[in-house]
């Protein structure tokens, strides 16, 4: 078998904790209690919803362990349907969807530089009633001198069907080697609705008149307040391994989302 030492972690919800208890009793999985009990593990089983799955991926992004999710949340886009039947066989036959995160470098008003990783997207968002004014550069070249908007985001293919799509961005296939650059409620320029960039691009946002129109940077759910500059690039040095049941890979799910019309 490919995976012989699964470790298990679950969200704090009653449903997830009950499911974890059943699986530990049935299969003898090692419980992850502090986020770091994975020395002997070769795969992680995560029980919860998409938010918890993102937390788990961030927690274990450095150890490179594959993660197999079981949905005990609502949508469960990043997880598999919960089932105890043939679980070990499913995990060992799962499709490995490899993704790379975004690296965010945010500079704050007081000169602090903060780094963070994002699996779904990096967003720059206004924090007051006034719209933000943002300069956009790609690979050092200014393409938009001033965009008046609620914000702007850069999404990976894995995150393109989430917040990015809700703001009118394109859904990207996993193997597309693209990033989606998408404005959030843009006022000027009126006709610009974002675009697709190669995943080798270095994208930079400069907050204009930040003392009057403050903004924050958000890498998935990690926030940095009062930013003046944000640089985003694809981090190919880190690989995240998401395991999905046969016929339900992340690639296949995203393709179905592209053609979802209901």
Residues with a catalytic annotation lie at: 50
Question: Residue 166: helix, strand or coil by DSSP?
Answer: helix
Dihedral of alpha carbons 191, 143, 126, 57, sign: positive
Which of 149, 140, 128 shows the shortest CA–CA distance to 215? 128
- C-alpha to C-alpha distance for 125 and 225, rounded to whole angstroms: 10
Backbone angles phi, psi at 144, to 5 degrees: -130, 115
Question: Cis (ω within 30 of 0) for the bond into 189?
Answer: yes
- C-alpha to C-alpha distance for 179 and 184, rounded to whole angstroms: 16
Q: For residue 37, how many other CB atoms are within 10 A of its CB?
A: 13
- C-alpha to C-alpha distance for 155 and 181, rounded to whole angstroms: 7
254, containing H or E segment: helix 250-258
Contact 111, 85 (CB under 8 A): no
Both tokens assigned to 149? 């908007």
């Amino acid at each position: 078998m490919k995976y012989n030492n699964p470790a298990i972690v679950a969200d704090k919800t009653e449903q997830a904790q009950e499911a974890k208890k059943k699986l530990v009793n049935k299969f003898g999985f090692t419980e992850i209690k502090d986020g770091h009990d994975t020395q002997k593990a070769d795969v992680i089983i995560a029980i919860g919803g998409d938010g918890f799955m993102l937390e788990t991926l961030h927690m274990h992004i450095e150890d490179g362990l594959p993660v197999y999710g079981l949905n005990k949340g609502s949508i469960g886009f990043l997880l598999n349907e919960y089932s105890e039947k043939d679980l070990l066989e499913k995990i060992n036959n799962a499709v490995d969807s490899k993704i790379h995160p975004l690296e965010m470098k945010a500079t704050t008003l007081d000169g602090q530089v903060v780094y963070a990783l994002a699996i779904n997207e990096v967003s720059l968002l206004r924090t007051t009633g006034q719209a933000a004014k943002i300069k956009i550069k790609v690979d050092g070249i200014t393409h938009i001198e001033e965009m008046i908007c609620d914000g702007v985001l850069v999404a990976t293919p894995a995150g393109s069907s989430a917040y990015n799509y809700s703001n009118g961005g394109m859904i990207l296939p996993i193997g597309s080697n693209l990033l989606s650059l998408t404005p959030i409620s843009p006022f000027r320029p009126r006709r610009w609705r974002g675009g697709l960039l190669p995943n080798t691009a270095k994208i930079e946002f400069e907050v204009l008149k930040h003392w009057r129109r403050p903004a924050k940077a958000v890498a998935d759910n990690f926030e940095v307040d009062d930013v003046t500059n944000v640089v985003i690039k694809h981090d190919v040095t880190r690989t995240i391994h998401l395991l999905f049941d046969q016929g339900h890979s992340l690639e296949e799910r995203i393709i179905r989302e592209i053609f979802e019309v209901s």
